[in-house]
Structure 1
Amino acid sequence: MFSVPEQFSAATKASFDAQIALFSLLSGKAFESVEKLVELNVNAVKSTLEESATTTKQLLSAKDPQEFFTLSTSHAQPTAEKLLAYSRHLASIASNAQSEFTSAAESQIAESNRKVQALFEEVAKNAPAGSEQFVSFFKTAITNANTGYEQFTQNTKQAVEALEANLNNTVTQISQAAKPATRASSKK
């Protein structure tokens, strides 16, 4: 049988190790997300530079102002679509990163809560007579803290889902609005 100080010492060490593991995991996920973001931006810049050079050559070769305006409006739709695709990809990267962070944090917190409750149960078994009210108080406090965390997690998930839905809705609306506008400008 372990003494209470040894149990707390072991629990503290396990908690510290778990925090380091979580930090390492989250750092790796953050690095992966930044890497994806950098790759997306590099590809976008390369593509934009190549298309700008091609468009500039076409515009400079226009024979009259009408052809110049026709060429410039014909590039509006593809540019708008690429901007929307970029926005969707960026939102996807952010959403995936948030999801991975949340998942990692939830599993780590659940494991930590399990260990704290196990330690508390063990300490409660060995508690001296007359400390039942004290033990009951701490059990209630742990239960309330877990309930509060679960509610916070649920609210955060709902907020993220609403944000993603609003972003997707906005992108769809912009895309639909851009199509008629570019068609109308290319007919002129």
Structure 2
Amino acid sequence: MFSFQDQFSAATKSNLQAQLDLINTLTAKAFEGVEKIVELNLSATRASLEEATAVARQLASAKDPQEALSLASAQAQPGAEKAAAYGRHLATIVSTTQAEFTRAAEAQIAENTRKVSALIDELSKNAPPGSEQAVSLLKAALSNANAGYEQLTKNSKQAVEALEANLSNATRQFTAAAEKATGATRAKK
């Protein structure tokens, strides 16, 4: 039979290892998300540069200012659509990364909670008479920690949903403004 100190030491070591595992998992997920964003930005930059070069060549070969204006205005709608697609892709990356963070954290917290509950149950079985209040305080602390984690998870999900909604709204507004500008330019012709 283990002594209280041995049990506590083993539980502390297990808890520390679980926290390190969680940090490693979250760090890996964060790097994956950053990699995806960097890849998206590089692709968008490369495509923009190629398109800008092609448009510059077309503008340079324009025979008169009206043709140059026509070429420039023709780029507004595709540019708006590409910006909207970029925004949607970015929102997807952020949302996916947040969901992976949440899943990893929830799994780790559930495992830690199970281990700590098992330890508290074991301690309460072997606790000396009169220590019921201390065991009760430990159980209450565990319950409070779980409630705090659940609230944190709920708040982070709400924050990501708000971010997604704001990105979606901005994309819609940008697309509508570009369509309006393109329509106004076409009406002037």
- State the TM-score bracket (shorter-chain normalisation): over 0.9
Structure 1 residue 12, shift from structure 2 partner: 1.5
Alpha-carbon distance in 1 for matches of 2:20, 2:32: 18
What 5-or-longer segments of structure 1 have no aligned partner?
none
Corresponding residue of 1:134: 134
Does the residue aligned with 1:47 lie in a helix, a strand or coil?
helix
Matched ranges for 1:3-14 at <5 A: 3-14=3-14
Corresponding residue of 1:88: 88
Does the residue aligned with 1:129 lie in a helix, a strand or coil?
coil
Structure 1 residue 186, shift from structure 2 partner: 2.8
Q: Against the structure 1 CA distance between its residues 157 and 114, is the aligned structure 2 distance closer, same or farther, given a 3 Å change threshold?
A: same
What 5-or-longer segments of structure 2 have no aligned partner?
none
2:87–2:168 Cα contact (<8 Å) kept:
no
Corresponding residue of 2:52: 52
Structure 1 residue 33, shift from structure 2 partner: 1.5
Show structure 1 runs of 4+ deviating over 3 A: none
Alpha-carbon distance in 1 for matches of 2:152, 2:175: 34
Structure 1 residue 68, shift from structure 2 partner: 1.0
Matched ranges for 1:1-188 at <5 A: 1-188=1-188
Alpha-carbon distance in 2 for matches of 1:159, 1:29: 18
Q: Against the structure 1 CA distance between its residues 125 and 18, is the aligned structure 2 distance closer, same or farther, given a 3 Å change threshold?
A: same
Q: TM-score, normalised by structure 2?
A: 0.92
Alpha-carbon distance in 1 for matches of 2:157, 2:30: 19
Does the residue aligned with 1:164 lie in a helix, a strand or coil?
helix
Query: Aligned AA for 1:6?
Result: D
Structure 1 residue 81, shift from structure 2 partner: 1.2
Does the residue aligned with 2:11 lie in a helix, a strand or coil?
helix
Alpha-carbon distance in 2 for matches of 1:56, 1:118: 69
The number of residues matched between the two structures is 188
Alpha-carbon distance in 1 for matches of 2:182, 2:110: 52
Does the residue aligned with 2:63 lie in a helix, a strand or coil?
coil
Query: Aligned AA for 1:118?
Result: A
Structure 1 residue 158, shift from structure 2 partner: 2.1
Structure 1 residue 108, shift from structure 2 partner: 0.7
Query: Aligned AA for 2:81?
Result: E
Alpha-carbon distance in 2 for matches of 1:50, 1:148: 50
Does the residue aligned with 1:62 lie in a helix, a strand or coil?
coil
Structure 1 residue 66, shift from structure 2 partner: 1.0
Alpha-carbon distance in 1 for matches of 2:30, 2:144: 31
Q: TM-score, normalised by structure 1?
A: 0.92
